[in-house]
Amino acid sequence: MEAATAPEVAAGSKLKVKEASPADAEPPQASPGQGAGSPTPQLLPPIEEHPKIWLPRALRQTYIRKVGDTVNLLIPFQGKPKPQAIWTHDGCALDTRRVSVRNGERDSILFIREAQRADSGRYQLRVQLGGLEATATIDILVIERPGPPQSIKLVDVWGFSATLEWTPPQDTGNTALLGYTVQKADTKSGLWFTVLEHYHRTSCVVSDLIIGNSYAFRVFAENQCGLSETAPITTDLAHIQKAATVYKTKGFAQRDFSEAPKFTQPLADCTTVTGYNTQLFCCVRAFPRPKIIWLKNKMDIQGNPKYRALTHLGICSLEIRKPGPFDGGIYTCKAVNPLGEASVDCRVDVKVPN
């Protein structure tokens, strides 16, 4: 019987040829008591097609499933006449209470209704035909969510930051951890907010905390299945206290704004017509506030009902009500304060209409 050549062996499977013993080479001897009428031994049918396993590409690397998922693997093979297919789990026979196998003419199906972590391991399929054998190996990994970190504690609080430490979970869910998720919650709202994701260390610093709030923290472990169902919470709260601030006022010299009166806008000469009100304007700057005195031909006109004098924000005005021919002359505005005095003059002409 010829062994299969290398190109005939499928990827992911191995073909073995059992060695024949010397007794296999000798023709069977008839026993002395075996007569001519005794049945003759039957010869095995010739092997028309060597056994070969076609392992799907997706099963050439570790096949990962979650706890509770269904495992349904269909492995095609060849061999003629029909070969014998045998499955093993980590070198032992399958547990028929959990794993079922169906062998067909051209394939073998391995079925697990609800996978558990104990179903993880190395499964081997052997296809035997006469003295030939092909094997294929499949690694199955059944995973679940990790357990929570064992503890978390608040190490230090300073300024707007807090330092946390925790220990890894005892149960990683039968796979490597992808990291940790750190969350914070202030006691006022009680809402949890994520501050770190996929964090790989077992200590961290949480910054940008708000003054006057108190915070609690919790940490989730994470793997391919997701976050742990629970998370430990810090027993101590992080109180972000407002630092006592002492304000020191700097001494400064008081500026002296005192100023003697000074007219920034003088009076302007004007000509008016009898019977029409006329106004005179000027601007003065002084501190303390000056006293304004109006004069006509150097005579004080304060209190005269024919004139109305107003002062607002340094703007001085004098209204001459319905002037007559004798209201013309030199008008003077004088500003007086303790630092001095100043005055401006203007000429007012009153014309009689023709």
User: Quick check: 25 pLDDT over 70?
Assistant: no
What is the mean pLDDT of the segment spanning 135-160? 93
- Is residue 37 a part of any domain in this protein? no
**pLDDT at residue number 16:** 56
- Is residue 243 a part of any domain in this protein? no
Same domain, 224 and 162: yes
The pTM assigned to this predicted structure is 0.55
Residue 100: both structure tokens together: 């079922």
CA distance 120 to 142: 5
Provide the CA 215 distance to its chain's centre, in angstroms: 19
Phi, psi torsion values for 343, nearest 5 degrees: -150, 155
- The span from the first CA to the last CA of the chain, in angstroms, equals 152
User: Quick check: 33 pLDDT over 50?
Assistant: no
- Is residue 14 a part of any domain in this protein? no
Select from 210, 238, 266 the last residue of a domain: 238
What are the residues whose beta carbons fall under 8 Å from the beta carbon of 81, sequence distance 6 or more?
A: 45, 47, 48, 129
The band of 254, judged by pLDDT with boundaries at 50, 70 and 90, is: confident
User: Quick check: 32 pLDDT over 90?
Assistant: no
Range of the domain at 223: 151-238
Better-scored residue on pLDDT, 182 or 303? 182
**pLDDT at residue number 175:** 93
Nearest Cα residue to 113 out of 145, 142, 75: 142
Of 27-36, 66-75, 243-252, 330-339, where does mean pLDDT reach its minimum?
27-36
Phi, psi torsion values for 305, nearest 5 degrees: -65, -15
Same domain, 262 and 309: yes
Same domain, 133 and 196: no
- Is residue 8 a part of any domain in this protein? no
Task: Name the percent of the chain lying above pLDDT 70.
Answer: 87
CA distance 339 to 352: 43
Same domain, 52 and 136: yes
Same domain, 160 and 132: no
Buried/exposed 106-138: b ≥16 CB within 10 Å, e otherwise? ebbebebeebeeebbeebebbbbbbebbbbbeb
pLDDT (tens digit per residue) in 94-108: 999 999 999 999 999
The band of 43, judged by pLDDT with boundaries at 50, 70 and 90, is: low
Same domain, 73 and 157: no
CA distance 203 to 153: 10
Asked whether 94 and 170 are in contact (CB, 8 A), the reply is no
**pLDDT at residue number 159:** 87
The band of 44, judged by pLDDT with boundaries at 50, 70 and 90, is: low
Q: Give the C-alpha distances (Å, rounded to integers) separating 213 from 99, 152, 292.
A: 56, 20, 62
The band of 21, judged by pLDDT with boundaries at 50, 70 and 90, is: very low
Residue 49: both structure tokens together: 């097609």
User: Quick check: 251 pLDDT over 90?
Assistant: no
User: Quick check: 144 pLDDT over 60?
Assistant: yes
**pLDDT at residue number 216:** 95
**pLDDT at residue number 49:** 86
Same domain, 54 and 136: yes
pLDDT (tens digit per residue) in 191-216: 999 999 999 999 999 999 998 899 99
- Is residue 354 a part of any domain in this protein? no
What are the residues whose beta carbons fall under 8 Å from the beta carbon of 299, sequence distance 6 or more?
A: none
Same domain, 110 and 164: no
Same domain, 134 and 158: no
- Is residue 100 a part of any domain in this protein? yes
Same domain, 128 and 165: no
The band of 291, judged by pLDDT with boundaries at 50, 70 and 90, is: very high
H or E element at residue 184:
strand 179-186
Q: Give the C-alpha distances (Å, rounded to integers) separating 232 from 141, 207, 218, 291.
A: 28, 20, 6, 80
- Is residue 57 a part of any domain in this protein? yes
**pLDDT at residue number 27:** 43
Same domain, 125 and 94: yes
Phi, psi torsion values for 76, nearest 5 degrees: -75, 150
What is the number of domains present in the chain? 3
CA distance 350 to 269: 11
Same domain, 321 and 266: yes
What are the residues whose beta carbons fall under 8 Å from the beta carbon of 3, sequence distance 6 or more?
A: 15, 17, 132
User: Quick check: 35 pLDDT over 60?
Assistant: no
What CATH number is attached to the domain comprising 80? 2.60.40.10
**pLDDT at residue number 63:** 95
What is the mean pLDDT of the segment spanning 328-348? 95
Select from 238, 268, 293 the last residue of a domain: 238
**pLDDT at residue number 14:** 54
Asked whether 180 and 199 are in contact (CB, 8 A), the reply is yes
Select from 106, 141, 176 the last residue of a domain: 141
**pLDDT at residue number 41:** 53
Q: Centre a 10 Å sphere on the Cβ of residue 31 and count the other Cβ atoms it contains.
A: 8
